[in-house]
Amino acid sequence: MIMKSITLNCYTMRIISFVIALFIALIMQGEDVVIGSYHDAKGADIHKVAIRLKDDNSNIDCAFIYLSSSLGKGYFRLDGKKISEFVTALKEVEAKYPIWSEKIKEADVKKLTKEIDIKFPKVTFYLSSKPSFNFSQKPKVLFEVKDGKSRIWIFAKTNTNFNRTENFSMAFDDVIGIKELITLLENEDVLLDLATTALKKSNEIDSIFQ
């Protein structure tokens, strides 16, 4: 009986320690601030881009790139150290997409799907506005032609804990939306400036209601 009580107390202490650690982590976690948006080809959607700051708002913890999923709205969570690698891959898509589109038009191709080998860093993707889950993998690139019109997809496909395959994707019919994403993410100083400015404005609005 004594041993059972000791075992139970040890288990209870582990639970309490976990809850305390989780609470501290949540307190230390920076605030997410929206810094801009980009245009997605699917229905001319506009998706926001947010940044989470850390170290008294002096460094970037991660970026959130919102997009569509087959379950609704979702987002890529991109570690701050991987942002430049993500931008490099975006720039490769931006440079090559118009060339592919022009050559497809010249060849009079009406229908095509081709996966393109462009190296994106691993991201974690989440659902928003629904029961949350997350998975990590490297996004892929798909070049698609329908009725002679081209589209580029940056996507991730996974088997979720709902026991079904889900797609997370952003789509572009031209390079405008890609350029918008690159402009937002390519310069760390600009990122910090946009994020701190947005955070300051948010705090000023919050102070009105105190």
Q: What is the mean pLDDT of residues 141-166?
A: 85
* Tens digits of residue pLDDT in 18-66: 333 333 333 334 578 999 999 988 656 789 999 999 988 889 999 999 9
Reading the block at residue 25, the tokens are 């982590």
Exposed e or buried b for every residue in 46-57, given b needs 16+ CB within 10 A?
Answer: ebebbbbbeeeb
Whether residue 121 has pLDDT greater than 90: yes
pLDDT at 144 over 50: yes
From CA 98, how far away is CA 173, in angstroms rounded? 10
The pLDDT of residue 165 is above 90: no
Cβ pair 142, 152 in contact under 8 A: yes
Angstrom distance (rounded) from CA 82 to CA 31 = 19
d(C-alpha 64, C-alpha 173), whole Å: 22
Q: How many whole angstroms separate alpha carbon 62 and alpha carbon 53?
A: 7
Please list, in sequence order, all residues whose beta carbon lies within 8 angstroms of the beta carbon of residue 113, skipping any fewer than 6 positions away. Answer: 142, 143, 144, 145
